[in-house]
Amino acid sequence: MNHEEKLQKGAHPVYQDLLKALESARTRLAIAIAAETKATPLERWNYYLETADQMRRCLKQLRALPRSGTMSSADWIEALATLKRIPQRSDPRLRKGEAHQLCQCLRAVLAQLGQPGN
């Protein structure tokens, strides 16, 4: 069984939980960005798109190199804990500014994972 198969079969649950949490956060960010599009200044819009692109690159890198030497499981655990602390917003009336807050939180997570541009 190769390394990728072990990861897919649950040999590293932190890795799988991190991927799921990052994918969920990326989806949530896309929804928040879409909800704010009409009233978003260009500078902030670019900030949102840059964060979304960094999330995409991070996920791609994690899928391709799940155990790169530059990341330790401790980094993954810390990033996962940060993702779990992001507050959930269920009331649509409270969503104003959510994309900006998500971007700030997600950039902190990306920094924990050693992603450039943070």
pTM of the model: 0.76
The H helix count followed by the E strand count for the chain is: 5, 0
What are the per-10-residue average pLDDT scores of the chain (118 residues)?
47 80 94 83 93 94 64 80 83 70 93 73
Q: Tokens 């649509």 — which residue? A: 92
Sign of the CA dihedral running 54, 87, 16, 114: positive
pLDDT score of 97: 80
Q: Tokens 């700030």 — which residue? A: 104
Q: Tokens 């390394």 — which residue? A: 3
Side-chain half-sphere of 73: how many Cα atoms within 13 Å?
A: 6
Residues in the chain: 118
Identify which of 69, 84, 66, 74 has the alpha carbon closest to the alpha carbon of residue 22: 84
pLDDT score of 72: 59
pLDDT score of 92: 58
pLDDT score of 94: 55
Under DSSP, the state recorded for 95 is -
